[in-house]
Structure 1
């Protein structure tokens, strides 16, 4: 095949650039969904963002599409801007949300660890691994950020975009984006507990499950930090405590009381957002998904998602 070969395709009849191949555009869906989920903490919202991004792409003429030099960058820019809008409106929606709002939990799956190869050079001290950026603890910290902070931080520290690229998305200068990411990074360092090896996390979660099944309040208290915090999200759709439960002993007693109120509750160990967690089922139906944060050998945070709208990904999950 000569250097001028078109590989079997008909030769171009004009000097106009060709529109990108549909497969190449469709191939960005996974990356866009991963990005939008980390920005929004909701798979449903992330899917809506990706759908809207593709709708805007296909609304253009082939000539307009062909004029875009890097379609993947265009798609990311559009998705990022839509996420900014969604984050702004989400603050208003969550003021009306019944009870506590917890990010939507994701089951185990490599499709959720998808990043950008290459990208900006990032100091290792200013970077977050893709799988760490999926954890419930990390996503909860992101919730405390402003929309612009969240976008700048996630795009730069997680997905390795340059501040120049981020500036085009958030409509600010490179230096302003750098300050946003720096501010967000400080929040993460202040609020995010040091990592505990996953194997040890699994052991503690298993011990917690066994103590819960045995209704052993003493063992549960021993696994919980005295200042532990438990947060439940029922979304006003199903019953759940409306305020966080504070204190290891209170959490232990509440957990044991819950099993007495819901006989037949089955506790299953499961990977939740890339970390050891629990799935609660009753009569074969997933009724809650629990994520944990640990410091040393003790549980410091528990998040229980009961809102069925956030459990769609778990309805057909095997035990």
Structure 2
């Protein structure tokens, strides 16, 4: 086996973790894949003889790539994460270890929505440290701060997430009514009705397979989301997805698309569109009659 083959094999052993880091940073499977691919290109051009811990080196590289991509969004005048950041009031960090573990393990759409309210370096510090146990000594050079300052960034991000993380609607029947109303309005092209069902800051995410089928990689804001869905979803059916009301498109007896909804205080704050067959196979889907 050649040296390049060995390097490629070591990279593949770390791919899933790198993709997880990138997805939590970027909130897009397509962009996460781009970041991981860029990491491989950088690795293939680098002399790694002096690299003692390849996994840590790759995590650092992916972190830097994601940080550059987040900053690039702002330079292209897309919705800037910095512009949406609100500095939290400094309070004592009362999080116990169990709560920290639960927070770090929560990687659903609700958390991604809140992560996007952080500025890029806060997001990077939180994701790398709280979710992937990267030390602040390693994070510091990536964000251009001291280890102590990097620790403060992660702590500030943690407080913000704890304060702003939306609590999903607990009443399943109410969730179902809202999702059902959304599907009816979408089929009928009722733009104004869709607006009443969507939170002003609603976020839609779609995986790569869904994008190839016509979805967009990411849509934000009630007007943009209402405009995208108005007149669509003619064949979407109400379903329970992992126990929560959602929608699916079934063709030839197989689920082709699944849409999960996050409903808070009577409005939809997030939609997650999945079309990748492997991911669909991991979902517990039950069609709802009527």
TM-score (norm 2): 0.64
2:72 is the counterpart of 1:89: yes
Q: 1:291 aligns with which of 253, 258, 261?
A: 261
- Cα distance in 2 for residues equivalent to 1:76 and 1:201: 40
Structure 2: unaligned runs, 5 residues or longer: 81-95, 186-195, 207-213, 286-290
- Cα distance in 2 for residues equivalent to 1:130 and 1:25: 25
Matches within 5 A, 1:240-259: 243-244=221-222
**8 Å contact 1:49–1:82 — kept in the other structure?**
yes
Number of equivalences: 240
- Cα distance in 1 for residues equivalent to 2:128 and 2:205: 30
2:156 is the counterpart of 1:183: yes
Q: 1:27 aligns with which of 5, 9, 13?
A: 13
Corresponding residue for residue 270 of structure 2: 303
**8 Å contact 1:290–1:302 — kept in the other structure?**
no
Matches within 5 A, 1:1-319: 22-60=8-46, 64-93=47-76, 95=78, 123-132=97-106, 134-194=107-167, 205-206=175-176, 208-209=178-179, 229=199, 231=202, 243-244=221-222, 264-269=234-239, 271=241, 276=244, 278-281=246-249, 289-294=259-264, 299-304=266-271, 313=276, 317=280
- Cα distance in 1 for residues equivalent to 2:181 and 2:75: 40
- Cα distance in 1 for residues equivalent to 2:166 and 2:160: 11
RMSD: 4.4
Residues 103-133 of structure 1 show CA distances to partners (whole Å, capped at 9, x for unaligned) of xxxxxxxxxxxxxxxxxxx94444444541x
| Larger-Rg structure | 1
SS of residue in 2 equivalent to 1:178: helix
Structure 1: unaligned runs, 5 residues or longer: 1-8, 10-18, 98-121, 216-225, 246-253
- Cα distance in 2 for residues equivalent to 1:170 and 1:21: 27
SS of residue in 1 equivalent to 2:166: coil
- Cα distance in 2 for residues equivalent to 1:31 and 1:242: 27
**8 Å contact 2:256–2:275 — kept in the other structure?**
no
- Cα distance in 1 for residues equivalent to 2:267 and 2:184: 21
Check 1:211–1:79 CA distance in 2 against 1; reply closer, same or farther (3 A cut). Answer: closer
- Cα distance in 2 for residues equivalent to 1:38 and 1:178: 19
- Cα distance in 2 for residues equivalent to 1:88 and 1:302: 24
- Cα distance in 1 for residues equivalent to 2:152 and 2:163: 17
**8 Å contact 1:137–1:293 — kept in the other structure?**
no
- Cα distance in 1 for residues equivalent to 2:215 and 2:16: 31
Shift of 1:93: 3.6
SS of residue in 2 equivalent to 1:89: helix
Shift of 1:209: 4.5
Residues 187-242 of structure 1 show CA distances to partners (whole Å, capped at 9, x for unaligned) of 1122113467xxx5766544544566789xxxxxxxxxx9972636599x889x98
**8 Å contact 1:163–1:178 — kept in the other structure?**
yes
